[in-house]
Structure 1
Amino acid sequence: MTDLQVSSPTGVDQRVQDLLARMTLEEKLAQVVGFWEKSDGEAVAPLQGEFTAERTLDEAAQHGLGHLTRVYGTRPVDPVSRARWLWGFQRRLVRETRLGIPALVHEECLTGLSAWRAATFPTPLAWGASFDPELVTRMGEVIGESMRALGVHQGLAPVLDVVRDPRWGRVDECIGEDPYLVGTLGTSYVRGLQSTGVHATLKHFVGYSASQSGRNFGPVHAGPREIADVLLPPFEMAVRDGGVRSVMHSYAEIDGVPVAADPALLTGVLRDRWGFDGTVVADYFGVAFLHLLHHVAGDLGEAAGLALAAGVDIELPTGDAYTEPLAAAVRAGKVDEALVDRAVTRALTQKAELGLLDATFDDEPPTAVDLDSAEHRRVAAQLAEESVVLLTNDGTLPLRAGVRVAVIGPNADRPEAMFGCYSFVNHVLPHHPEVGVGIDVPTVRHALAAELLGSSVVAARGCAVDDDDRSGFPDAVRVATESDVAVVVVGDHAGLFGRGTVGEGCDRDDLELPGVQRELVEAVLATGTPVVLVLLTGRPYAIGWAVERCAAVVQSFFPGEEGGPAIAGVLSGRVNPSGRLPVSLPRSAGAQPFSYLHPALGGDGDVTNLASRPVLPFGHGLSYTSFTHTDLTVEPTATTDGPLVVTVRVTNTGERGGDDVVQLYGRDLVASVTRPVAQLLGYQRVHLERGQTAVVELVVPATRLSFTNRAGERVVEPGDVDLWVGPSCAERETQARVTLTGDVHRITADDPRWTATVVR
């Protein structure tokens, strides 16, 4: 075996090294594993039933404990009484174990703290639709404040996987299909959460969303350039610009190498190239999967050695491999104990950063906690409103006063339809049907009735989300016939491992609306009553037929606890819609995978008989007012290592105030490798009253135009670049050309990745 030198990260407290020197092997391993109290019927992780809890919590904690897994988020518990239990357990670790080190507590927090009675915010696709980094930062702050109050130290979010195929079930956890949009919003969430003293965890590093045929856990066949230029940049931004303190490895294998066993990614890219000095945690059971699913390890001890060598520091959610199997491998000389020391050093350093090495838990736990305060709901409402995307409208919206409305569809009156897979409502409560939702969730039906006081609002379910029962069609047709307009609310039910139409392990081989929902919409359309189609989904569906035939189509990606009022507000006109598509609206499953970031031969053309052009493009979204974009200006030349200073004039030319999302795109006309026909370079949400004009200045670092050349270097090459602003990636409303001059610029760690914006 070769010697391994373990260097301490910058600023490590000397106590970490002193502790490490005093530790037995068992005490070391205790600090790099979690423990999860769960029951057989509480399946909220992949293949959870394959793992049996052979140890009690007391047994697991006799030498200390690295992580406590989902103390509040495994089952519905009263937060105050659970906090009292947690403080008592932490005191036991401090007072009764030899080294007195408390456990780090982690929870899911993708759409808010995933706990009973906690505020539940819009899903990340809705963040993407909002194009509002400042609001996402504020959401991260209020989520972090709740977590910190309950003694939670680390959140398993955000997800920075770039959407590559809408058939993949976990699309609802992602922000969008553009890496810059994903990176800016994801980094904003990291900053908000970590400002409260809670560490964020980037998921899932890397490649998970590029799986074969959009299948969960499917192998990834992406080439090194796609990995480097599309999938890695959001993580790099969150590490270098966001200062994230934790990263979770992906379940994926890339070109035959599981990420959990790939030192080139987990150490070479993440640490050596980007300078990350936090902890890398395993996705749940990911170390054991090297043996059980990937078959690159003969047993759990070998799997532990591979993961440690690659750079996985903490095994979550439990210690299946990093406990007895790893101890045996170390004692047999198969795994160098220096690898264990490296992981323990990082784990203890994180605890030092969080103040856990000084914590005594002699204080009292909270006696009252409001996890769904007025501020939580204000932020949830604003984000829900900003994320609703008006896809089409023939003038039927906003609904006129006194209109007779039929509210139809499986998602019209179902609170669960507001939430994604990793919400507590859909992730945990299905295992506890006797327990109520715990938070107020106005449905579209109830919110619309409250919004349209003085109007007649009648309802009919029509069908379920995902079965073939058409017995409710006649009632739906009847109420539609008797009404002036039919609001038909369709879409998804988020769930896990086949228990939903979208969510982890709920992939699709088509992009039709689930079940008989399209037939329901067709039946209502046949009445001749104008149809406003409302989509409550976790992925974009192939609804070109509806875009062509419905009076209006409204897209809302799981908008959270305030989603019902937000949608009702858009329908009534109280809210002027301002969301923009963070993913292309797909043409068909056969046209997938598709991304607007395709090269010239990745789109429509004369060399194929098949169309791949989406029904509606990335960035599309209508308003009840109108905006013009004019006078795009940029200096005719810029250097390959300098910024592009771009200005554009935006005017509200409509009859009411509203928010516009200024979208700046670029295209590198000639390069040493093929480049996308459009690429988002910067964006800015701006509010303008009727007739108001603003000049938006976007300072775009040339880094935004960088790519991986044939030698595998990330560079900016000299040459011509087209720039434009328009209502989506597909429309050039105002444009200019700039020539990059100078030598080929090789990207360094000091190059900026953000776009600075000024509105005047």
Structure 2
Amino acid sequence: MAHDAPSLEALVDDLLARLGDAECVALLHQANPAMPDHGLGAFHTGAEALHGVAWLGTATVFPQPVGMAAAWDADLLREIGDAVGTELRAKRAADPERVSLNCWAPVVNPLRHPLWGRGEEGSSEDPHVTAWCGEAYAAGLRGDDATVWKTVPTLKHLLAYNNETDRCTSSSSLPPRVLHEYDLPPFLGPLASGAAGGIMAAYNLVNGRPAHTSAELYEAVRAAQPDLLAVSDAYAPTNLTGAERAYATDAESHAAAIRAGLDSFTDRDADSSHTVAAITAALEQGLLDVADVRRAARRVLLARARTGEFTPDADPYAHITADDIDTPAHRDLARRAATAQVTVLENRGLLPLRAGSTLAVVGPLATVVKHDWYSGTPPYMVSAADAAGEAHPVTAHDGADRLRLRSRTTGLTLTRAADGALVADQPGDDVVAVTDRGHDMLTLADDATGLLWRGSDDGMVHVDATRPEGWVTHQVFARHVHDDGSWSLQHRGSRRWVRVEAWGGLASSTAEDLAAAERFDVEVVSSGAEEVARAAAGADAVLMVVGNDPHINGRETTDRPSLDLPDAQRRLVEAALAANPATALIVISSYPYTLGDLADRAGAVVWSSHAGQELGHALLDVLDGRAEPAGRLPQTWWADAKHAGDLFDYDIIDARMTWWYSPHTPRYPLGHGLTYGRVEYRDISLPNGLAGPAVVRVANEGDRPAHELVQVYAASTDDRIGRRLLGHQRVVLAPGEEATVPVELHPARLRTWTAARGLDLPATTWRIVAASSAGMAGPSLELTTAPATPDAPLPLPLVAWHAPDWSGVVGVAVDHVRGTAYRARSGAGRLGWPSVEPLPARLAMRLRVTTGLGGDVEIRCGGASVLGTPEQERRGEWHDVVVDCPAPGATSLEVRLTGTVELAEIRQEN
């Protein structure tokens, strides 16, 4: 913009002053109407750009975010974000009416639990690594111009969203330490740096309150960026009066959301009438002030202004055209990005592969490249088998069983008709390729064409799908094996069974139960396990390529059923290993697996995310040694699924979950990944203390270059403080080279939250370790920290949620607007204050009982105790229960909660 041009804020304020109240209301739905009298075109929020432009046709597809994070390279992530931002601009240049520059990415929810169905969308289990990755990717999307943004990145999902099961009605219980130390930092980092300009609220509740109406959450992120745009998740506003039953009317719910801090309602697609009517009713009923509406409208307009919409002559990105998609530079970047995230987990001398060796490339992911829900449409795809064939003689097999399925109704084999219908109406010997995805999920394909069976809402079964896809994955079926060996098949999307019409032989998924389902006699043409073993036996080495399809067994709306590799895939791996010990287990997945003894027996284990169009080239670049392995795990791979903890327990401190607190030794820790060199960690020093940098001495004892990620960790002697990653630095070591590596430290990551001080360094002793992973095997030293202000006894009132010590409790909402109380998680919980000002003779407890048979609150101090019981006739109301302090003058306090009683605070009774 010219030096004398008004600021974007001034332009927006001028425009806002000219808009009527009804026009401001219209701006609060995701589909903004055109307002030609004010020079405003139509606009809508939201373009998906998680790892490339999605749902808008051909675009470069980069690795999934969890894969990008495995590169541990902020410059690379920034470059990817810049390319995606360019391609989104290119899409808008071709179709400005359809394409928004309000970009819904990145996802910055830390990967607390590996069963989360959307784990592929996040970056890391560590919140600070997540913030670092999110900031880098968002900075690329935003662009470098000081005024005009290439896109406006919107961070998903505020907050504590890590489960798909009951996601719209489950409540994530967060003590304040978990909130401020774990869940908020990934949002605050990108916002404070100016890399992102918006947030999307999460579907779930937080401490019993819908995230969409939680004023305290909006206030927390707006402390980092006051003018950020807050959008709802799709259809979430409907949940406020629907599944969540938090409000009686839409007017009440929409008013509450706007007052809390929500600006834009993503509801009912392009139909804004419901949203406009609800907000208008809220104004008419006095539930909402016009000032609230105008404040939200201003933030919507500012997000639009940031894209250059109101200053087209000053748009530095106006030169981008539709030709700036799938450029040679973006193809090169896709290959570099995919290669950088390939992670070698085990290597027993098998890798790198011998040049020209014969390979068996086998398994369900050997010959395909998988999409996820938020993938774009790649211009091309290179599978592992494709890439291996460029440098090796290759035998490939997908591991599927080949069968003929004969209908008992017609006596004929199922076949694909000319129109794509599934029929059993004429003699034939068509073969079906059956892939067992685990957990009672199959995909079935016509072997001649490779096309998948696809159920549909109308009951027809078509044979026309190129891959599993869709909000409902209609390409998945379940199998019931009868006592006589015959099969019946169920379409998983509709839960109806396949039947065959006696007249005409048409197959459809219209049978309501198993009794009405068709029975199919099964003829085995070939066994996938036998074919894998045959290919493996005839090869110098085997690439056994397993993993998940991102539309099956874990995705948006569906959590993973298990961390284990599906049994069918395990049988394929067993077959390969039995036939040829020189088998590399290649895991291409959205998330970690528990691999057990398979990892012990394989010649190598390698992981990649679903890395996009260049997946195959990336794998073979690393496996063949053209590229040195550089990927490192951004999350823990547990040895046992139980070690991951409860999917629904967000209190990682009390539950001792994640690598920060877990007492369990993982199979592969965060940061793990091998090089083809052999790196030794020899020494660490802190010449400037935590002000850094740490000085780490490392050496490559191997005969190949080592691309090492030097990591520095801190482990407290207090297990309630746990472990942290203090810093990391990449270094390339030549064979035989020793180097002294400076590692920038981030001491703010060691801070813990208290009610008195907020975030501050704790009083504790740390072991500072230089290591190749969070397994923390390396040289170390000790260091002590202390808070800037010494701890002082806490005065009354004591807020229950702020208790320095707690166990067995969950957060509940004090009211619809703000405030958190505690109740026992499973009938018994404890709160503790180790240092308080001398207690008075009389105490008042703020209590409530809303469900169950009530309970008690026991106060313990000075070796004595007293019970407080809520008044049953005041069920559902907060009220005071006054008790005599069992030890007046005591300076510590413990509270025991039983039943369903809720405690908000303890104060002096005057």
Identity over aligned residues, as a percent? 28
Q: Is the 8 A contact 2:123 2:130 kept in 1?
A: yes
Alignment partners' CA distance in 2, 1:574 and 1:745 = 55
List aligned pairs for 1:69-84, cutoff 5 A.
none
What's the CA shift for 1:366? 7.2
Alignment partners' CA distance in 2, 1:163 and 1:745 = 34
Q: Is the 8 A contact 2:365 2:398 kept in 1?
A: no
- Residue 813 of structure 2 corresponds to which residue in structure 1? none
SS at match of 1:738: strand
Counterpart residue type for residue 120 of structure 2: D
Q: Deviations over 1:274-293 (max 9, x none)?
A: 34322111111222221222
Task: Report whether the alignment pairs 1:28 with 2:80.
Answer: no
- Residue 441 of structure 1 corresponds to which residue in structure 2? 381
Alignment partners' CA distance in 2, 1:355 and 1:734 = 52
Counterpart residue type for residue 674 of structure 1: R
Q: 1:244 aligns with which of 182, 186, 196?
A: 196
Gaps of at least 5 residues in structure 2 are 1-5, 93-99, 145-149, 402-434, 444-525, 792-910
Alignment partners' CA distance in 2, 1:32 and 1:445 = 50
Alignment partners' CA distance in 2, 1:451 and 1:216 = 50
Alignment partners' CA distance in 1, 2:236 and 2:49 = 20
- Residue 325 of structure 2 corresponds to which residue in structure 1? 371
Alignment partners' CA distance in 1, 2:756 and 2:743 = 31
Q: 1:412 aligns with which of 366, 380, 389?
A: 366
Q: Is the 8 A contact 2:157 2:200 kept in 1?
A: yes
What's the CA shift for 1:588? 3.1
What's the CA shift for 1:537? 0.5
- Residue 412 of structure 2 corresponds to which residue in structure 1? none
Q: Is the 8 A contact 2:53 2:59 kept in 1?
A: yes
What's the CA shift for 1:547? 1.2
Task: Report whether the alignment pairs 1:657 with 2:705.
Answer: yes
Task: Report whether the alignment pairs 1:743 with 2:779.
Answer: no
Counterpart residue type for residue 307 of structure 1: A
Counterpart residue type for residue 177 of structure 1: E
Q: Is the 8 A contact 1:717 1:744 kept in 2?
A: no
Counterpart residue type for residue 696 of structure 2: V
What's the CA shift for 1:213? 7.5
Q: Is the 8 A contact 1:650 1:694 kept in 2?
A: yes
Q: Deviations over 1:657-689 (max 9, x none)?
A: 23110111012335xx8211x211111122222
Q: 2:176 aligns with which of 224, 227, 231?
A: 224
SS at match of 1:150: helix
- Residue 618 of structure 2 corresponds to which residue in structure 1? 566
- Residue 205 of structure 1 corresponds to which residue in structure 2? 158
CA separation of 1:401 and 1:199: change in aligned 2, threshold 3 A: same
SS at match of 1:29: helix
- Residue 455 of structure 2 corresponds to which residue in structure 1? none
- Residue 211 of structure 2 corresponds to which residue in structure 1? 259
CA separation of 1:501 and 1:217: change in aligned 2, threshold 3 A: farther
What's the CA shift for 1:243? 4.0
Alignment partners' CA distance in 1, 2:351 and 2:296 = 57
CA separation of 1:742 and 1:526: change in aligned 2, threshold 3 A: closer
List aligned pairs for 1:537-686, cutoff 5 A.
537-593=589-645, 602=656, 612-635=664-687, 638=689, 643-670=691-718, 674-676=720-722, 678-686=723-731
Q: Deviations over 1:135-157 (max 9, x none)?
A: 10111111111222333422111
Greater mean deviation of Cα atoms: 460-469 or 478-487: 460-469
Q: Is the 8 A contact 1:204 1:250 kept in 2?
A: yes
What's the CA shift for 1:100? 3.0
Higher-helix-fraction structure? 1
What's the CA shift for 1:174? 0.7
Counterpart residue type for residue 542 of structure 1: T
- Residue 221 of structure 2 corresponds to which residue in structure 1? 270
Q: Is the 8 A contact 2:91 2:322 kept in 1?
A: no
Q: Is the 8 A contact 2:30 2:45 kept in 1?
A: no
Alignment partners' CA distance in 2, 1:443 and 1:352 = 42
SS at match of 1:424: coil
Q: Is the 8 A contact 2:727 2:746 kept in 1?
A: no
Alignment partners' CA distance in 1, 2:372 and 2:140 = 21
What's the CA shift for 1:582? 0.9
What's the CA shift for 1:599? 6.7
Q: Deviations over 1:234-284 (max 9, x none)?
A: 1111111244211111112112111101001112x122x334322111111
Please provide the CA RMSD for this pair. 3.0
Alignment partners' CA distance in 1, 2:684 and 2:151 = 41
CA separation of 1:160 and 1:460: change in aligned 2, threshold 3 A: closer
CA separation of 1:527 and 1:600: change in aligned 2, threshold 3 A: farther
Q: Is the 8 A contact 1:129 1:580 kept in 2?
A: yes
Alignment partners' CA distance in 2, 1:378 and 1:580 = 21
CA separation of 1:611 and 1:28: change in aligned 2, threshold 3 A: closer
- Residue 334 of structure 1 corresponds to which residue in structure 2? 287
Q: Deviations over 1:312-368 (max 9, x none)?
A: 111125436531221122123232222111101111222233222234999999764
SS at match of 1:144: helix
Gaps of at least 5 residues in structure 1 are 1-9, 36-59, 65-92, 426-437, 605-609, 747-760
Alignment partners' CA distance in 2, 1:698 and 1:320 = 55
Q: Is the 8 A contact 1:387 1:580 kept in 2?
A: yes
What's the CA shift for 1:133? 0.7
What's the CA shift for 1:110? 0.6
Ranked by relative contact order (alpha carbons within 8 Å, sequence separation 6 or more), the top structure is 1
SS at match of 1:457: strand
- How many positions carry a matched residue from both structures? 646
Q: Is the 8 A contact 2:542 2:580 kept in 1?
A: no
Q: Is the 8 A contact 1:176 1:182 kept in 2?
A: yes
What's the CA shift for 1:422? 1.0
TM-score (norm 1): 0.79
List aligned pairs for 1:135-174, cutoff 5 A.
135-151=76-92, 152-174=100-122
Alignment partners' CA distance in 2, 1:712 and 1:208 = 27
Q: Is the 8 A contact 1:384 1:560 kept in 2?
A: yes
Higher-strand-fraction structure? 2
Counterpart residue type for residue 691 of structure 2: P
SS at match of 2:172: coil
SS at match of 2:713: strand
Counterpart residue type for residue 249 of structure 1: A
Alignment partners' CA distance in 2, 1:555 and 1:14 = 51
SS at match of 1:169: coil
Q: Is the 8 A contact 1:407 1:487 kept in 2?
A: yes
Q: Is the 8 A contact 1:313 1:346 kept in 2?
A: yes
Alignment partners' CA distance in 2, 1:315 and 1:492 = 34
SS at match of 2:692: strand
What's the CA shift for 1:619? 1.2
Alignment partners' CA distance in 1, 2:337 and 2:285 = 55
Q: Is the 8 A contact 1:716 1:744 kept in 2?
A: no
Alignment partners' CA distance in 2, 1:231 and 1:388 = 28
Q: Which has the larger radius of gyration?
A: 2
- Residue 100 of structure 1 corresponds to which residue in structure 2? 40
Q: 2:230 aligns with which of 255, 259, 280?
A: 280
CA separation of 1:137 and 1:472: change in aligned 2, threshold 3 A: same
Counterpart residue type for residue 678 of structure 2: S
Alignment partners' CA distance in 2, 1:537 and 1:402 = 28
- Residue 358 of structure 1 corresponds to which residue in structure 2? 311
CA separation of 1:217 and 1:627: change in aligned 2, threshold 3 A: farther
Q: Deviations over 1:545-582 (max 9, x none)?
A: 22112111111111111111111122222222121111
Greater mean deviation of Cα atoms: 150-159 or 254-263: 150-159
- Residue 373 of structure 2 corresponds to which residue in structure 1? 421
- Residue 750 of structure 1 corresponds to which residue in structure 2? none
Task: Report whether the alignment pairs 1:132 with 2:77.
Answer: no
Greater mean deviation of Cα atoms: 657-666 or 219-228: 219-228
Alignment partners' CA distance in 1, 2:618 and 2:169 = 35
Q: Is the 8 A contact 1:398 1:570 kept in 2?
A: yes
